[in-house]
Amino acid sequence: MNVLTFNAGSSSLKVGIYSVDGERARPLFARTLSMEPTAAGATAAVNATLDNELPSEIAFDAVGHRMVFGGPEDAPALASPELFARLARFERLDPLHAPAALAALRTTHERLAHLPNVLCFDTAFFRDLPERARILPIENPDPNFLRRYGFHGLSYDYVRATLGGRLGSRAILAHLGSGASLAALKDGKPIESTMGFSPLGGILMATRPGDLDPGILLYLLEDRQQSPAHLRELLEERSGLRAISGGERDLRRLLERADDPRAILAVDAFCTSVVKAVGALAALLGGLDTVVFTGGVGEHLAPIRSSIVGRLALFGMKLDEKANAVHADVISAPTSAVTVRVVTTDENATIARATSALVHATAERMR
Catalytic residues: 122
Identity (one letter) of the amino acid at 15?
V
Helix H segments across 112-226?
A: 131-134, 153-163, 214-222
Question: For the chain, how many helices (H) and strands (E)?
Answer: 15, 11
The span from the CA of 247 to the CA of 254, in Å, is: 10
Measured in whole angstroms, the distance separating CA 250 from the mean position of its chain's CA atoms is 17
The span from the CA of 222 to the CA of 123, in Å, is: 33
The span from the CA of 273 to the CA of 271, in Å, is: 5
From the list 68, 54, 37, the residue with the least C-alpha distance to 112 is: 54
The span from the CA of 302 to the CA of 176, in Å, is: 12
**Residue 108 Ramachandran class (φ > 0 left, ψ -120 to 50 alpha, else beta):** alpha
Backbone angles phi, psi at 90, to 5 degrees: -80, -10
CA-based radius of gyration for the chain: 21
